[in-house]
Structure 1
Amino acid sequence: MTAITINFNNVLKLSDDQFYQLCRDNPDVKFERNAFGELIIMSPTGGETGKCNASMTADFIIWNRQTKLGEVFDSSTCFKLPNGSDRSPDVSWIKLERWNALTSKQREKFPPIAPDFVLELMSPSDSLSETQAKMQEYMNAGVKLGWLIDRKTRRVEIYRQGQQKEVLESPTSLSGKDILPGFVLDLLFV
């Protein structure tokens, strides 16, 4: 099953509060919203993708608990990006001082902030071109580092602010370098 995009704009344009309420009223459905206001209904992942995503999220949590540099978010967290879209990366991280600069009300709903780091793990149902466009949207929003991991092809695309995309074939690990100091994700292949 692939993601479904629905355009209600000629009928109804949802405000941020209405979109938030739609998500709250339908907790079994994962919604995103693109910059055009179109709703995207995301399909659930399969077991292997979910297992890999949980394992990678745990690696980020363990690193972050040791460094105390920021906050880690799972794939259920939706962020309000500067272009108006509402996106839920599979794993994301925000520097602590940026997160703490938000009000408690902003942190409670869909935080109006672009994460410093995002990771998208391809599922069999994901479209590569759509996920690459989503990664570019993150970069345009101010994300500093992004990893697009395709388990099937063992290919990783690395997105860095202000730089050309880097493509790695079958890497064994990824380094967070200056954005995620000391973090190394072992892939072997997730």
Structure 2
Amino acid sequence: MTNLTIELNSVIDMTEEQFFQLCQKNPDLRFERNAKGDLIIMSPTGGKTGNRNGRLTQQLFNWADRNQLGIPFDSSAGFNLPNGSNFSPDASWITIEKWNNLTPEQRTKFLPLCPDFLIELMSPSDSLPKTREKMKEYLENGMQLGWLINPKNQQVEIYRAGKDVEILDSPEILSGEDVLPGFILDMTKIW
């Protein structure tokens, strides 16, 4: 199954609140929205992708619990990016300062910011060119470090603010560098 994109902007200019309500009224569906206002309906993942995503999230949450430097999120968390896109990365993290600057109401809805760190895990229904575009969009909106994991090719694309994309073949570990100090993702549990 592939993801579907519906052009809505020519019909309705959906506000962030309306988009949030649409998602809440349809909990069995996963939506994203690009900066043009197009609605993207994400297909569910299979067992293998779901397990891989759980392993990513598990390792990120365990690290975050130990150091208390920020707040991690799983794939169900939505982010309203500064450019108007509404995305839900597979795993993400923001600094504790950003979290503390959010109001209690902002914390209950899609967060009005871009994650400092995120992971996008390719599933069979994902398009590599479209996911690369999304990673670049995250960078343009404030992401400091991002990993695009492609299990099919056993490659990882590393996106860093102000730097060229680095591509690694079959890495055994990934480092959170200075964005997530001390975080090491064990890729042997992902491949």
**TM-score, normalised with respect to structure 1:** 0.98
Q: Which residue in the other structure is 1:69 paired with? A: 69
The amino acid across from 2:59 in the alignment is D
**How many angstroms does 1:189 deviate by?**
5.8
The secondary structure found in structure 2 opposite 1:188 is helix
Map of 2:13 onto structure 1: 13
| Amino acid in the other structure paired with 2:29 | V
* One-letter identity of the residue aligned with 2:161: Q
Structure 2 CA distance, aligned partners of 1:123 and 1:137?
A: 19
Answer whether contact 1:151 1:189 (CA < 8 A) is retained: no
User: Which one is further off, 18-27 or 6-15?
Assistant: 6-15
| Distance across 2 between alignment mates of 1:124 and 1:23 | 23
Structure 1 residues not aligned, in runs of 5+ = none
2:132 and 2:126 map into 1 onto residues whose CA distance is: 10
- Confirm or deny: 8 A CA contact 2:52 2:189 kept in the other structure: no
The Cα shift of 1:156 comes to: 0.4
Per-residue Cα deviation, 1:89-113 (whole angstroms, up to 9, x for no partner)? 0000000011111111111111101
Look up the equivalent residue of 2:84 and give its one-letter code. G
Q: What's 1:39 paired with?
A: 39
Q: Percent identity?
A: 56
Q: Residue 140 of structure 1 aligns with which residue?
A: 140
CA distance in 2, matches of 1:161, 1:8: 31
| 1:112 equivalent in structure 2 | 112
2:147/2:156 contact within 8 Å kept: yes
The one-letter code sitting in structure 1 at the alignment partner of 2:75 is: S
> Which runs of 4 or more aligned residues in structure 1 lie more than 3 Å from their structure 2 counterparts after TM superposition?
none
Structure 1 segment 1-190 matched on structure 2, within 5 A: 1-188=1-188, 190=190
Q: CA RMSD in A?
A: 0.7
- Structure 1 window deviating more from structure 2 (27-36 vs 6-15): it is 6-15
| 1:172–1:189 Cα contact (<8 Å) kept | no
How far apart, in 1, do the equivalents of 2:125 and 2:85 lie?
21
The residue identity in structure 2 corresponding to 1:132 is R
Please tell me the residue identity of whatever aligns with 2:134.
K
The CA distance in 1 between the partners of 2:108 and 2:42, in whole Å, is: 22
TM-score by length of structure 2 reads: 0.98
